[in-house]
Amino acid sequence: MTEKMTTRPVLLRATMKDVAALARVSLKTVSRVINNEPTVNAELAARVHQAAEQLRYQPNFGASALRRSDGRSSTIGVLLEDLSNPFSATIYRAVEEVATKRSVSVLGGSLDESSVREHELTTSLSRHRVDGVIIAPASHDHQYLRQEQEAGIPFVFVDRPPSLLKADQVLSDSREGTQAAVRHLIDVGHRRIGYLGDATTISTAQERHLGYLDALKDAGIPVDPALVVQDLRTIDSAHATVLRILRSKKPPTAFFTGQNLLTMGAVRALRETGSQDKIALVGFDDFLMADLLQPAVTVVAQDVVAIGREAARILFERIDGDRSEPRHVVITTQLIQRGSGEIPPTS
């Protein structure tokens, strides 16, 4: 004997027509009430609000944007490397705070260093008729966005500059910040300084590597290729790399790590080998509880909140009609000395 299967009814979203029918008013009256027009009779407005609440009606702002004279959707897009990374998350939050004050919604996405995903998400945002986009790009040719720009969608690039496209950009001084960090290690007495870098395809990773080379050159210290490892992306890869370098015949007396995940991996390796009080470490990007470790981690701190807020400010000025030349804003970094970067060489 087979059991009789039961199916639950599919619940459809209420439409403006449903609200109008229940409230016994015209569709135009519902539209005027939803858009907060002041000329609607109070009794009719109350009936519309009651019907909308009863039907749990939610306005379709995407469709509303098509009908608005200015074509705006009151939404923006924010595309960053990885929204789970504290750096990206902080930028997103800073943008969101600015957008909320303007009653604008934020659609976010992670690019995962994929140019294909970048194309897919920017296309999706365009179809959702966002009013503008803040992006930390993964691709190296942004000419494909020119058509969107000409259609009136402004783009503000953060962390990394656009390529083959004129657009606003808000960046940190990666090269100068790294140079200051490595110079600090040299001033403490270090001559063998290991370098752990992010993917060489990323412009900020390239800038930080150049900053490392600048500092060594200025101090007359030759580069030892055995101490330079790039294209590291994760905590685990940095952890394994530091362990390998420490076991070499001529290990460094200090490390510079090019982003927060790599710093975390280096910290783990140094503690695992009991070297945290013997080998100096300076990392680019601050991270949660870096100041609570023993020793606390010296970092080149980016003002990530300022990056997000400035990008949002510029974006909304563009949305409001600013057509001036693209801006190039550089946010300065700060070397925060906490202890790990002040350990002198033991030999």
Cα separation of 40 and 26, whole Å?
A: 12
Please state the φ and ψ torsions of residue 152, each to the nearest 5 degrees.
105, 5
Rounded to the nearest angstrom, the gap between the alpha carbon of residue 113 and the centroid of all alpha carbons in its chain is: 12
Structural domains of the chain, with CATH: 16-59 (1.10.260.40), 75-171+304-331 (3.40.50.2300), 174-303+335-342 (3.40.50.2300)
pLDDT at position 303 is 96
- Can you give the pLDDT at residue 7? 46
Q: Nearest Cα to 48, choosing from 73, 17, 69? A: 17
**Of the candidates 230, 237, 224, the residue with the CA atom closest to the CA atom of residue 206:** 230
Regions of the chain with pLDDT less than 70 = 1-12, 59-71, 347
Residues 252-300: tens digit of each pLDDT:
999 999 999 999 999 999 999 999 999 999 999 998 899 999 999 999 9
Q: Which candidate, 339, 344, 336, places its Cα nearest to that of 278?
A: 344
**DSSP one-letter code for 320:** T
Amino acid 55: pLDDT: 87
What is the spatial distance between Cα 190 and Cα 345, in angstroms, rounded to a whole number? 6
Does the N-terminal peptide bond of residue 295 adopt cis geometry, omega within 30 degrees of 0? yes
**Sign, Cα dihedral of 230, 233, 235, 240:** negative
Q: pTM here?
A: 0.77
